[in-house]
Copies of this chain bind each other. A is one copy, B any other.
Amino acid sequence: MRARLLAATVALLVERGFAGTTTTLVSERAGVSRGAQLHHFPTKNDLVFAAVSHVTATRGVELAAAAARIPAGPQRTRAVLGMLADHFTSPVFTAALELWVAARTDPDLLAEVAPLEQRVGRETHRLTVELLDADESKAGVRELVQATLDLVRGLGLASTITDDARRRKRILDRWSEVLEEELS
Which A residues are within 8 Å of any B CB, using their own CB? 15-20, 94, 97-98, 100-106, 110, 113-114, 117-118, 140, 143-144, 146-147, 149-158, 160-162, 167, 170-171, 173-175, 177-178, 182
Contact = CB atoms under 8 A, between A and B. Distances in A.
A122 to B, nearest CB: 12
A179 B75 CA distance: 23
A110 B150 contact: no
Contact of A100 (B100, B106, B152, B157): B157
Given A97-B101, A147-B151, A154-B157, A162 B17 contact: no
Contacts of A160: 100-101, 104
A86 to B, nearest CB: 15
Given A100-B160, A153-B157, 16 more contacts: A17-B104, A18-B19, A97-B157, A100-B157, A103-B161, A104-B160, A118-B162, A140-B174, A140-B177, A143-B170, A143-B173, A146-B171, A150-B155, A151-B151, A157-B157, A178-B178
A88 to B, nearest CB: 9
Nearest to A160: B104
A172 B143 CA distance: 9
A148 to B, nearest CB: 9
- Greatest chain B CB density within 10 A among A15, A94, A153, A170 is at A153
20 contacts: A16-B105, A17-B102, A19-B102, A94-B104, A97-B101, A97-B157, A103-B161, A117-B162, A140-B174, A143-B171, A143-B173, A143-B174, A143-B175, A144-B178, A146-B167, A150-B155, A150-B158, A153-B153, A154-B154, A178-B178
